[in-house]
Homo-oligomer: A and B are copies of this chain.
């Protein structure tokens, strides 16, 4: 088993960071803040473990630490990863039993989750005390869809080089929202195989592409961390447009 950097294996600091992101979308009341801070631990997942044991009746979860992904495995073994799930993201919050079976969630690194049932209750009943929190959760859900559209852009119209850079830019932006970046440096706990299955490429070609990015001094890559050396250049090269969260 690989050892993972502290930055994404320490759940302690996770909740305040999520709160900070929610606060930036909508000013939260004391009640709302208290509710988020009161979310209980739910369970841990090992790297590679499937995250939806009982699809239908499962409770929604909030990632406190670790990375996951949503994916589908085709009948012949080909795998496509739709999106990565980062700390502060929800899993199973929107009622997905409708189109279930079309995708599954898996832990990429060890994951610690919180029980997000209170948040789903807020979404279901229209309790006016939590209107702000409800709105913020809806925004996060819509943003997830916007990110899926970015994924379509990557796969449909970008080259391997552009795809890879585009993904790194997205990860930087998302991790930055929850305070998990250090400037242009952030953890990247993905094997090249995992990246390949997200980017629609082969392992070998991901390897060569990363090497090219390093050779051209676009990135630095070392033991699970990556540094973007010329992020602005990559932004314009890949026509990167990030669906940033709206400010309150």
Contacts and interface: CB of A to CB of B under 8 A. Distances in A.
Given A152-B82, A156-B200, A75 B145 contact: no
A96 B138 CA distance: 12
Given A79-B157, A152-B152, A156-B200, A142 B239 contact: no
Interface string A126-158: 100000000000010011011011011101110
Contacts of A74: 153, 157, 239
A35 to B, nearest CB: 21
B157 A102 contact: no
Contact of A99 (B76, B103, B243): B243
A-B pairs with lowest CB-CB distance, top 5? A156-B200, A155-B155, A99-B146, A99-B243, A80-B156
Interface of A: 72, 74-76, 78-80, 82, 94, 96, 98-99, 101-103, 126, 139, 142-143, 145-146, 148-149, 151-153, 155-157, 199-200, 239, 241, 243, 246
